[in-house]
Amino acid sequence: MERNRSFPGISPSAWEHPADKAALAAFSSLPLAGELVRRIVGSTTERSLRLSTLANSARASDSQFASLYASLGLLCERLDCAPRPELYIRLDPSPNAFALGVDRPFIVLTSGALDLWGEEELGSVLAHELGHVLSGHVVFKTLLVLLIKASSLLVGNLPLAGAALSAAIAALKEWDRKSELSADRASLLAVQDAPLVLRSLMKSAGGARIGQMDLNEFFRQAHDYESSREGLDSLYKLVDVLGESHPYPVARMTALQEWEKSPAYASILAGDYPRRGQEGERDAARDFQEAGKAYSSEFSSSEDPLSQAAGKVMETLGGLFGGAGKGRPGGGGGGGEGSGSAPNIEETIDRIFGKRP
């Protein structure tokens, strides 16, 4: 199979997980979404992050980490990402990769990542981060941080508001994990080598000694995890994952393999995919319906009640954000009576960042 396909003009919606799409559509429809982003991740904050990274990391170029720099350029061509994000290597023994910024996103790899993954595997890691950049995930991950901060401020002072924010945080964390599944899909599209991406995920579970691991055995392990129903196993798994930013490697591998075998993936490889600017306006209700169908599919194939809990989180997300903008005459940003919950959101923002002049 040809492994050097490029996808000119491809829209991120081609690889986004249904639940990821639903959350993005919901947040985009929030009347105060733009204000939240402007107040939290303004140009000053982004510039501060960039200067800090310039000061304590090595920027990849034709003369520094040249092979990684060239690999990122090739991946950008395949996913039609322009301009190429800057790439930095930071001294940190923990293997990690992340994207920062909004207007000019950049990618950071830790030295631990270079020790864990080989050069080809690092390509799949970089493609994963490109998926986050192209889907605009950095903005929404920042909003999650805001809600966590707001929740800590409101505990004990405004119990009802704190409870509402806690529900939003739980729903957003579920989106956050689903966004990683989207980025995994982008990685597969860019490198077009499923065993390579799966091997990278295996290493994130078992370390660098890939020669002592077996892909088929790892998938059997994934099945054992999914099908375990003894005693309080479901509760343990639910509690374990709630605080995680990523799904567990066994779950990511299973989800990616399912998508790789799907007609949707085959269609993209054949050149049949949505183009940027041709998707039309996003319909939040439709995206929530698609997310519901995806969860229903997971429920029917799952042997574990844990999946039902995930569905309830998605219902929470729909209740919180599906009606965004309702009750606001003319869609305006006024905070007077009859404008729903927006004044409470504004008060929360002002509480955290100070009132606007």
Mean pLDDT of 198-206: 95
pLDDT tens readout for residues 250-280: 989 999 999 999 999 999 999 999 999 876 6
| pLDDT, position 1 | 52
| pLDDT, position 134 | 94
pLDDT score of 57 more than 90: yes
| pLDDT, position 342 | 40
Q: Which of 98-102, 158-162, 187-191 has the lowest mean pLDDT?
A: 158-162
pLDDT band at 80 (very low <50, low <70, confident <90, very high): very high
Q: Are the beta carbons of 194 and 333 closer than 8 angstroms?
A: no
Cβ neighbours around 34 below 10 Å, total: 11
Query: Would you list the domain boundaries of the chain?
Result: 12-322
Whole-angstrom distance, CA of residue 320 vs CA of residue 308? 19
| pLDDT, position 316 | 47
Mean pLDDT of 319-346: 41
What does the DSSP 8-state code read for residue 211? G
pLDDT score of 166 more than 70: no
The burial class, CB within 10 Å (0-12 / 13-18 / 19+), for 32 is: middle
pLDDT score of 326 more than 70: no
Mean pLDDT of 158-172: 59
| pLDDT, position 333 | 38
Q: Which residue has the higher pLDDT, 177 or 80?
A: 80
Cα within 13 Å of Cα(255), Cβ side: 26
Q: Which residue has the higher pLDDT, 170 or 357?
A: 170
pLDDT band at 147 (very low <50, low <70, confident <90, very high): low
User: Percentage of residues in the chain with pLDDT exceeding 70?
Assistant: 57
Written as one letter, the residue type at 299 is F
Q: Tell me the range of 29-43, 77-91, 317-331 where mean pLDDT is highest.
A: 77-91
pLDDT band at 225 (very low <50, low <70, confident <90, very high): confident
The burial class, CB within 10 Å (0-12 / 13-18 / 19+), for 348 is: buried
Dihedral (CA of 332, 38, 246, 260) sign: positive
Task: Look up the pTM and report it.
Answer: 0.75
Whole-angstrom distance, CA of residue 354 vs CA of residue 200? 44
